[in-house]
A and B are shown apart, each in its own frame.
Chain A
Amino acid sequence: AQKVTQAQTEISVVEKEDVTLDCVYETRDTTYYLFWYKQPPSGELVFLIRRNSFDEQNEISGRYSWNFQKSTSSFNFTITASQVVDSAVYFCALSEVANTGNQFYFGTGTSLTVIP
């Protein structure tokens, strides 16, 4: 079973529009962490944000914000006033703190294209 689901395969928006990337996860652990990574066209994976399972407070950091809801097992990521440089593939990831150490599970990614 897929532990992290990103239902949106591709999204296109016009520059300056807001865009929300959806992520749904599945875990039986009570302690876990959620992440968003960005993969620009250059190919490297860049860490963006992290959230732990005990902190449902939503946050804003610059143009980025995220909405974590345990009740729906969702961890959505919003970019406000999108820019062309935001064009990338975005991955949501889950880390379960198991006895054998941290394991990371990634979604299949959402490809975001920001049109100038």
Chain B
Amino acid sequence: DAGVIQSPRHEVTEMGQEVTLRCKPISGHNSLFWYRQTMMRGLELLIYFNNNVPIDDSGMPEDRFSAKMPNASFSTLKIQPSEPRDSAVYFCASSFEGLPGTEAFFGQGTRLTVV
């Protein structure tokens, strides 16, 4: 299995632009998580999907952030408009909820820089 695949690996954009981050979870996994990592706040859970349905989006910072999971093999995290304070590494992770205690598998992350 190729693992969790995120794209792009790096993204540099200007303030005000729309940014879309993409994630392909591990095949067969039914839970998907988006995390944001910064030096100040560590790993923050942004949103959690289970069976393609958003279960907990309380970590989404504000309305500029949105996430979708149109099917079991694809999810996007969109920031519109982007701001410099959104600069961070964004991780996508997936797990199989049917096996209690199974670990979350992480993608390699997208390093976002908003200038």
Chain A residues near B (Cβ < 8 Å): 31, 33, 35, 37, 43-45, 47, 50, 52, 91, 93, 95, 97, 100-109
7 A-B residue pairs with Cβ-Cβ distance under 8 Å, sorted by A, are: A35-B103, A44-B106, A47-B103, A52-B101, A91-B42, A102-B97, A106-B35
What is the number of contacts between chain A and chain B, taking CB atoms within 8 Å? 63
User: How would you classify the secondary structure of chain A's contact residues: helix, strand, loop or mixed?
Assistant: strand
Is B31 a contact of A102 with CB atoms below 8 Å?
Answer: yes
What chain B residues lie within 8 Å of A100 (beta carbons)? Answer: 50, 55-56
From A37, A44, A104, residue with most partner B Cβ within 10 Å? A104
Complex contact A45–B50 (CB within 8 A): no
Please tell me the number of chain B residues within 8 Å of chain A, measured between CB atoms. 26
B71 in the interface (beta carbon within 8 A): no
Evaluate whether A45 and B91 lie within 8 angstroms (CB atoms) in the complex, with A106-B45, A108-B42, A109-B43 already known.
yes
Which of these, B42, B97, B109, contacts A101 with CB under 8 Å? Answer: B97
Residues A50 and B103 in contact in the complex (CB < 8 Å), given A43-B108, A44-B108:
yes
| Beta-carbon nearest neighbor of B103 in chain A | A47
- Identity of the chain B residue whose Cβ is nearest the Cβ of A102 in the assembled complex: B97
The interface residues of chain A lying within 8 Å CB-to-CB of B43 are 91, 106, 108-109
